[in-house]
Amino acid sequence: VAWLMKTFDVEWQTALETAPGLIVWLLVVGAGIFFGIKMETGLVRWGAPLAIALLIPVFKPILKEAAGVRETGGLVFDDMVSWYGTGWGMSLMFFGILIIGYGLLYWWHRRNSYYW
């Protein structure tokens, strides 16, 4: 939690909301890498874009705070929020990472294969 506060310059509560999701993400990605290497299935390569895209929901509290969403006494003030702090902005980043990541993997796979 202290690392999140120092690295992203966020408050204690925001870092506390982010930490469980980040820990779960690290465990799942670590297990995926471990089993992908052990079983040699290509899981690491084909799972990398999804793992990177899942960082958007993991860092949602930090993104919202950085974008300008503030809660005061149970009220949410989001008048002047940057695009990346809104739901559609986070969805755009999530699906953009997936499309670009899997597009690059498809392109590399096609380039290194003989289909003629």
Range of the domain at 80: 2-111
* Single-letter amino acid code for the residue at 17: E
Q: Is residue 116 part of a domain?
A: no
Who has greater pLDDT, 89 or 70? 89
Q: Which ranges of 1-86 would DSSP assign to H, the alpha helix?
A: 2-8, 12-39, 43-53, 55-58, 60-67
Compare 5 and 75 and report the one with higher pLDDT. Answer: 5
Count of domains for the chain: 1
Question: How sure is the predictor about 1, in pLDDT bands with cuts at 50, 70 and 90?
Answer: confident
Domain contains 89:
yes
From 61, 42, 52, 32, select the one nearest 96 (Cα to Cα).
Answer: 52
Q: What is the tens place of the pLDDT at every residue in 21-54? A: 999 999 999 999 998 888 887 778 889 999 999 9
> Cα(51)–Cα(44) distance, rounded to whole angstroms?
9
Give domain status of residue 58, yes or no: yes
